[in-house]
Chain A
């Protein structure tokens, strides 16, 4: 599939690596100008170096910090244009219910749930002008739950509900708001978790088995779908939560 995003501007949060980075790559390849957010200036710089691309604008901001969303939105406001906002930044640290502390809970809600809302709020005039679109990167864990992830599961469920509310409220301005719910992706984070588990093969095997299609997703295939969702091909979609999870929410074996 190819999409033409020449002349369009996209802001992707949490794009230093993983899915966010893949989404940036895909938008750049399709001709867009991309505003790249990550938590630290160094992270943003590194990502831009890796991309080696002219049409990238840095937007370092810690979305969990007060004023973070405004900071992430600032380059788009200076540019005076935004067509696509991808709320991708997230945090996912496994904890049992007993071990989930207040800071852990607050961090997950701040990055996953609160930051997307305030980022949308800050770029709303731009999206209104461009009749733009918002894509919230949720998770299959916005649709069902697993153990040891209570804050993440709550926040991702909240993000899907928020997606529907925003879709309803912004429909008169013709701003589409949708969510994507990826299953497990083979990212750097996943590789680190596998290493930390002590038995990387078993770790990967358990996630492959978990998804009926028998493999993990690549960040690139999720990114391609994000481009599709932001494109005129999806012009009648708003308020949707699309599972791209290899069947993990479809049923049980």
Chain B
């Protein structure tokens, strides 16, 4: 149903370029397609389900001579990120992809990538964390590194993955921070959708050439990466990183606006779906947002004032704008696809913080759904809107 809506939007799109292709791709292949068009110089990879659709598609491009990328088929995710850090520091446009345990294994070096201010692109096919081991989708892995200094951008479907990989690459290189473009494991990474691919020339002009600052390969001007910074300087480095991250919100808006000009597709920091007079607003992200939109359409037909706020940019978190968007709501329902064991789930924490800072007191409910790939059905979302499932778990 969501796909049908997209088709319709494209047909009416005045920007629709005849040279744009329509392709049936998985979310993973859509990401690979975007990376191919962007022209990645170096791509260290290590396989993990459900990220494999991304790297296998890209390896296919390599095998057929469609890309000039140096792929490095490393022996672990830790080495994938370590090699990405080396390549990006050297001056190469660098991308990788991972999921779950792989992202957790990278954890140590994620902070080094962001500390070095390297614009590394990482596609994450978000998946549950062990134990118990589970290969299916949820957001535990990406939530586990939400403080690692990476920009985090969530996608609802394959088209968004393609588009946000392009937007994200430009954003990362603009603010000099690494970025995770996040799709739901299996739900998005393995689902085939009909999506629109821009002309490669248009993508390349949009993203532009990568110009590294002080790359290692500029041997005439040697630099030291990874110095020791102690009590007298470490703090300042951290403050700089925070400032850079803050600037990503505004830069994202500018870049997304420019992207709309070339694609006709609009990606605000978060998506406001039928919020104009909404009294009950559901906050969520990822593929479940597509299902929730169907219910909102249905409830709207019955005259219910409901809407969706779909999180896109999660790091930096747009507290002020979200509070503004939610200010007329009478009830807010927050759906997280991850726990934060021992405290409130991540989205719920951020939303309550946003409202508190804006001095808005709202009725707000917190739900956790979809852990370990558990499906969420239209009926359940309808029941949540109707207050039939009290706060807690949507199982």
Do the two chains belong together in a single complex?
Answer: no
